[in-house]
Amino acid sequence: MKLTNYQLFWLLFSMEAGMTIMLTLGPTFQAARQGAPLAMLLAGAVSLLATYIAAKLSLLYPEDTFVEYVPKIIGQWLGKTLVFVYLLLWIAVGGIVLREYADFVHMALFDKTPLWAIILFMLIVILYAVHGGIHIVARCSEIIGPIVVFNIILFRIFSLKDLHLDRLLPLLPSDGWMPVLSGSAPAASYMSESVMIVMLIAFIGNKKKTLSSGLWGVGFAAIVLLNVIIDTMMMLGSTVPAMLQYPVYSISQYISVMEFVQNLDIFLVVGMSFTVFVKIGLYLFMTSYGTAQLFGIRNWRRVLWAVSMLVLAVALFPRNADETQVVFPLFWKNIVFPIFLFAVPFLLWMIGSARKRMKRPVRPHA
């Protein structure tokens, strides 16, 4: 299984764009209000930093996955324990993302369909692709990514008549920078999931451009998100989106051109379904392949079935949408984001770099 840098670009973009657009705009507007564009710009910068740290960490051991090189950095017992915690975290995230997607689709299209049916159908489709290998998901992302970009451009064109530039001012809210900093946290925590690059770099053939490809993928997603939040603000202002659960979905229902071009929400649902396919596919592969490496199982595809069942169980566990879209995001933003997406990779990078420098042979002076 080999990946190209081009595929890495679209994998990270597709994984970042969909769920972040759908789930973080409302919380960003609630906290930052008029400073929402600045908050999204800051979130993009933070996610680029997280991606840079994760990529530099992995490039210390370019032929090893996260599961293989962490024990080399901090020792076998501590390293394997840390890896096991990450594997559990990835299972939980995969299940919650699947449930968040199902809640949205259930609300938007299939309100008469049982929630478990939507979850199970999507999981089977993803499982079929992941069983073929990570390169299958990567090839899908090469098609999915441009489709998502096309959809966003289409929305921009059809909404031009409803955009009001004056609604962007003032750029900074009256309370100063604190609301902006608070508002950047939801989007930054979601976009920093690009840290999953720690399990992908080992599969890339030409690693010379891996860092730039990863940063460009996340950066492009950040630019798209910034444009979406600016368009939302120019259409609805900064108060209305803060009261909506899915601001972008509401805008897609609002767009009407000559009463002929309408009901564009179906494009949004399809685009989001594609990006969720890539995102959960990545989590399923990382967890299955990583678990097989951790426990010395030769065929990782056997582990894939067990991991899929755990993801399904996590997706079915929440009693309502509040637990997935209110409780879990708080846990993700306050605990997972600062510790597992930033602090741990940074410390591993520092320790790994120090170990590499210590192992370099000292050249004798002439």
Within a domain: 186? yes
Within a domain: 266? yes
CA-to-CA distance for 329 and 197, rounded, in angstroms?
21
Confidence (pLDDT) at 266: 79
Confidence (pLDDT) at 24: 85
Mean model confidence pLDDT for the chain: 88
Within a domain: 359? no
Within a domain: 354? no
CA-to-CA distance for 328 and 244, rounded, in angstroms?
19
Question: Considering the entire predicted model, what is its pTM?
Answer: 0.91
Within a domain: 201? yes
Confidence (pLDDT) at 366: 44
- CB contact set of 69 (below 8 Å; sequence gap of 6+): 58, 60, 61, 352
CA-to-CA distance for 346 and 50, rounded, in angstroms?
9
Tell me, what CATH number does 218's domain have? 1.20.1740.10
- Span 42-92, pLDDT tens digits: 999 999 999 999 999 999 998 899 999 999 999 899 999 999 999 999 999
- CB contact set of 229 (below 8 Å; sequence gap of 6+): 25, 28, 36, 37, 40
Low-confidence ranges of the chain (pLDDT < 70): 256-263, 360-366
Domain coverage including residue 292? 5-348
Pick from 239, 194, 238: nearest CA to 58: 194
Count structural domains, the chain: 1
- Span 250-263, pLDDT tens digits: 887 777 666 666 66
Within a domain: 308? yes
Confidence (pLDDT) at 160: 82
Within a domain: 297? yes
Confidence (pLDDT) at 361: 61
